[in-house]
Amino acid sequence: MSMINETENRGSWLNDEQIEFVRDRLPILYIDAIPVRVDELGNVTQIGLLLRGMPDGSISRAMVSGRVLYGERIRGALLRHLEKDLGATALPQLAPSPTPFTIVEYFPDPSVSGFHDPRQHAVSLAFVVVVKGDCRPSQNALDLAWLSPQESQSKKVLDEMTGGQAKLLKLALAHMGVIE
């Protein structure tokens, strides 16, 4: 059995009780992906931000994010989460061996790194991903907004992001060379 099929057959790989046990003891590996659209010269023209309902009932702007499953390659995790959040026709353009633009550590204590996840210590590999297809938010995403780089830096948009994701967006914009 191939590694991909084995990962797909395991589903979430831990039940809720098991993941809570692990989250209390180990950092969990995640991916964060910022979907972008580019022009014919490769210049970023739009940044895709999801609108999500949060566990506390609030609404937040967010990027594509999720756990890497046991036995799953990083590229596979990126594709799985991009398809889950943006739909099957998003057509993400990924290198055979994608490289993150930064690594983020989320902590239960927001003062440690500026990145906050009240459930756990999580380590996330962050990627900028060009998407060329039709994106339709799915799963727990309520909407997807395509914003210009300038719009994405507005105080209104950044204030709608939680857990340090505004800081991550600024890092991504700087990496792409589009920060003001």
Could you tell me the residue ranges of all domains in the chain? 3-176
- 6: pLDDT strictly greater than 50: no
The predicted pLDDT at position 9 comes to 46
57: left (phi over 0), alpha (psi -120 to 50) or beta: left
CA 64 – CA 89 distance, rounded (Å): 15
Q: Is the pLDDT of residue 1 over 50?
A: no
CATH ID of 3-176, from 3.90.79.10, 3.10.310.10, 3.30.420.40, 3.20.20.30: 3.90.79.10
For 48-72, what is the mean pLDDT? Answer: 88
Stretch 118-137: mean pLDDT:
95
Q: Residue 114: what pLDDT?
A: 93
Of residues 136 and 3, which shows the higher confidence score?
136
Reading the block at residue 47, the tokens are: 């940044």
pLDDT value for 11: 54
Q: Mean pLDDT over residues 6-24, rounded? A: 71
First-last CA distance in the chain: 49
Pick from 34, 30, 33: which is nearest to 179 by CA?
A: 34
Which residue shows structure tokens 């949060």? 54
**Band of the pLDDT at 2, cuts 50, 70, 90?**
very low
The number of C-alpha atoms within 13 Å of 21 and in the hemisphere containing its C-beta is 5
For residue 4, pLDDT over 70 is answered with: no
pLDDT at 99 over 50: yes
